[in-house]
């Protein structure tokens, strides 16, 4: 089977003090661990911070706010947060039931060299309406794409969002990066990897190994809507 995936209804959660998380497709790539989290309304959580790992939070459902040593950030739409490693703690507060991803990647010595040469200033918080749109020839003419994290700015990771009705992305295999995909609210589209096709819906998570041809395309009238998360399989030359 070319497609590695876990469906929303296959994910299990063990709640404690209104918070639960589950790991998504463990062992997809050494040094990367991805989690789906749920925080119930009226509860708070102070996530673990890491000295030697980069963490990215993708807030996909529900409203709340996040506080760190700099300020408070309202979460009222699809939003993204990257803490400044272990420089300070932060807290997530749920006004409604919230769902979010926590994507954690090791930083190798080579990653740190690239980071020290130039990087985004952390922490970062952006809602989808603040992210920059881009175009790409592998996407349909009416497909919208937003860049959240770009290459060589924080470790070896990239992240973005794609949305379209009745079209989507058809891409030749990219040997340099592995790719994970998370389906956002209302999504109902076909994921094809190396000639194998499955239907993907809200909350599903999938993995595309580097080098395999793949497409994420909706039938007429249906919605492609997903976060893509990529990681370079090799360190950058510095």
Measured between alpha carbons, how far is 127 from 87 in angstroms, rounded to an integer?
Answer: 22
Helix (H) or strand (E) holding 231: strand 223-232
Question: Does residue 238 register a pLDDT over 70?
Answer: no
pLDDT, tens digit, for every residue of 11-36? Answer: 999 999 999 999 999 999 999 999 99
Question: Does residue 148 register a pLDDT over 90?
Answer: yes
φ/ψ bin of 69: left (φ > 0), alpha (ψ from -120 to 50), beta (otherwise): alpha
Helix (H) or strand (E) holding 114: helix 109-117
Query: From residue 126, how far is each of 59, 81, 131, 158 by CA, in Å?
Result: 10, 7, 7, 15
Count other Cβ atoms within 10 Å, centred on residue 167. Answer: 18
* The pTM of the whole model exceeds 0.85: yes
Predicted local distance difference test score (pLDDT) of residue 235: 87
pLDDT, tens digit, for every residue of 47-74? Answer: 999 999 999 999 999 999 999 998 999 9
pLDDT, tens digit, for every residue of 95-115? Answer: 999 999 999 999 999 999 999
CA atoms within 13 A on the CB side of 97: 3
């Amino acid at each position: 089977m070319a497609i590695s995936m876990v469906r929303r209804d296959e994910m299990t959660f063990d709640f404690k003090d209104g918070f639960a998380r589950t790991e998504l497709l463990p062992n997809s790539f050494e040094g990367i661990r991805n989690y789906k989290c749920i925080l119930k309304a009226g509860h708070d959580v102070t996530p673990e911070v890491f000295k030697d790992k980069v963490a990215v939070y993708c807030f996909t459902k529900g409203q709340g706010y996040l506080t760190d040593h700099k300020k408070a950030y309202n979460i009222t739409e699809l939003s993204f947060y990257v803490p400044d490693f272990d420089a300070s703690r932060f807290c997530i507060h749920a006004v409604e039931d919230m769902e979010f991803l926590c994507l954690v990647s090791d930083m190798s010595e080579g990653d740190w060299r690239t980071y020290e040469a130039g990087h985004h200033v952390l922490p970062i918080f952006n809602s989808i309406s603040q992210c920059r749109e881009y175009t790409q020839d592998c996407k349909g003419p009416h497909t919208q794409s937003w860049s959240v994290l770009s290459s060589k700015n924080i470790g070896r990771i990239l992240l973005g969002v794609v949305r379209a009705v009745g079209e989507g992305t058809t891409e030749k295999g990219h040997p340099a990066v592995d790719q994970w995909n998370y389906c956002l609210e209302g999504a109902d589209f076909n994921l094809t990897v190396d000639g194998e096709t499955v239907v993907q819906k809200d909350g599903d998570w999938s993995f595309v190994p580097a080098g395999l041809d793949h497409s994420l395309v909706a039938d007429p009238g249906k919605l492609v809507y997903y976060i893509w998360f990529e990681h370079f399989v090799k360190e950058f030359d510095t």
